[in-house]
């Protein structure tokens, strides 16, 4: 098994959930520590609170992976009599690195909002509010039949061939004949100097995001047998990868609002919640959800013809606006995002297995929800 540094771990994570997916001003990334240090034990948490840090110290954790950034606003002083500030000092004292993936994880495919939507059993899930569009190009390369599979696999392994997040290693091939005459100074893989040559070739076409193009071209050159591979790159006007806030989907069967509220409570294991409804017997079929504090985006849910919008931390005056607009809203709290802990734990353990990492991966056992419902008293 291999030792890894924080840089190696985060490099893999950001290849799936890049920081540019985050909303403007969101302080994602490294918060405390040094990514160049080796890591031995990672703990996944929703929040970095003093109790979580004490848990990490007690379990000899040296890397905390958090959804919520611990330093959301600038620190004004280093007064260690303040528990929050002392928490930062404890992290530094015990060489614990802290990394946060916030709205980039929310917006990512197979990220926070997809997990929330899937937990509710929604189908035909789509993005509620597209905020980022990533250009995609088409790469076409001619390859002799004998090397077609090797070149195709090299390019897809380097990042080419994804049409959506549900379909990867996609390509199209057409059979043809390649003709060429190598001249003096050439080093042909097939044929002889000054003799015309014909080769049975296939033209392979794939989609490639701009960010993967350098790696894909490198893989093409390394796997292609020709001294000068023939390839073309096209800009596409009709296809882009889209990312954004929230998700919208459909229930398998419509249900009355009271039944749906119970479904939300059971799904996210909350003892109580708030809701806004002009019609308490409304039938719910189409659902929008956005984790965290996303009340201000409720009109995006309306634009998607959602019957109900689920989000946390709805403000009093925003609730009045929702009510006036006739939007049914359920607020189960911010803490439903704890769904990320088992999800990230499973993903990181899969990477550990694939990469043969010598690390332990834990889930924080601390409940960081600050609210207590009176039914619990």
Q: Cite the annotated binding site by residue number.
A: 67-68, 106, 334, 337
Cα–Cα distances (Å) from 282 to 48, 270, 278, 320, in that order, read 39, 22, 9, 19
Residue with tokens 């291999």: 2
**Rg of the chain in Å (alpha carbons):** 26
From its phi and psi, is residue 363 left (phi > 0), alpha (psi between -120 and 50) or beta?
beta
* Tokens linked to 54: 């004490």
Q: How far apart are the first and last CA of the chain?
A: 49
Between the CA of residue 198 and those of 22, 182, 253, what are the distances in Å?
51, 12, 60
Q: CB under 8 Å to 113, separation ≥6 — which residues? A: 106, 107, 128, 245, 246, 247, 289, 290, 291
Q: Binding site for a divalent metal cation: residue ranges? A: 67-68, 106, 334, 337
In the chain, the DSSP E strands lie at 4-5, 29-32, 38-39, 41-45, 63-66, 97-100, 123-144, 172-180, 197-209, 230-256, 274-276, 283-293, 308-312, 328-331, 360-363
Decide: residue 185, CB within 10 A, 0-12 exposed, 13-18 middle, 19+ buried. Answer: exposed
Cβ 138 vs Cβ 162: under 8 Å? no
Q: Which residues contact 269 (CB under 8 A, 6 or more apart)?
A: none
Six token digits for residue 262: 């119970």
Which residues make Cβ contacts (< 8 Å) with residue 234, sequence separation at least 6? Answer: 137, 138, 139, 140
Which residues contact residue 339 at a Cβ distance below 8 angstroms, ignoring those fewer than 6 apart? 112, 115, 116, 119, 268
Place of tokens 């789509």: 126
């Amino acid at each position: 098994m291999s030792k890894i540094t924080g840089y190696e771990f985060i490099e893999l994570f950001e290849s799936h959930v890049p920081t540019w997916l985050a909303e403007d001003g969101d302080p994602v990334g490294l918060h405390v520590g040094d990514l160049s240090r080796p890591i031995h034990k990672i703990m996944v948490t929703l929040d970095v609170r003093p109790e979580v840090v004490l848990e990490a110290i007690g379990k000899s954790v040296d890397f905390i992976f958090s959804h919520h950034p611990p330093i959301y606003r600038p620190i004004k002083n280093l007064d260690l009599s303040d528990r929050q500030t002392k928490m930062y000092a404890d992290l530094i004292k015990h060489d614990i690195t802290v990394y946060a993936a916030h709205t980039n994880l929310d917006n990512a495919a197979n990220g926070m909002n997809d997990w929330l939507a899937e937990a509710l059993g929604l189908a035909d899930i789509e993005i509620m509010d597209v905020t980022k569009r990533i250009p995609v190009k088409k790469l076409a390369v001619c390859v002799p039949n004998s090397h077609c599979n090797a070149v195709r696999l090299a390019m897809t392994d380097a990042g080419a061939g994804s049409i959506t997040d549900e379909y990867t290693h996609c390509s199209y091939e057409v059979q043809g004949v390649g003709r060429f005459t190598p001249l003096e100074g050439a080093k042909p893989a097939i044929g002889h100097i000054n003799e015309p040559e014909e080769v049975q070739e296939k033209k392979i076409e794939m989609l490639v995001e701009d960010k993967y193009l350098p790696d894909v071209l490198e893989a093409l050159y390394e796997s292609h047998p020709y001294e000068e591979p023939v390839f073309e790159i096209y800009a596409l006007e009709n296809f882009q990868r889209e990312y954004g806030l929230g998700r919208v989907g459909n229930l398998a069967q419509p249900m009355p609002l009271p039944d749906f509220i119970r479904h939300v409570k059971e799904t996210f294991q909350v003892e109580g919640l708030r809701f806004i409804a002009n019609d308490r017997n409304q039938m719910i079929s189409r659902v929008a959800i956005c984790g965290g504090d996303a009340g201000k985006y409720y009109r995006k849910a309306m634009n998607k013809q959602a019957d109900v919008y689920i989000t946390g931390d709805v403000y009093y005056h925003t609730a009045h606006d929702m009510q006036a607009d006739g939007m049914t809203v359920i607020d189960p709290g911010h803490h439903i995002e704890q769904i990320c802990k088992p999800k990230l734990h499973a993903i990181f353990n899969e990477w550990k297995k694939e990469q043969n990492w010598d690390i332990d991966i834990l889930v924080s056992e601390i409940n960081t929800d600050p609210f207590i419902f009176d039914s619990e008293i």
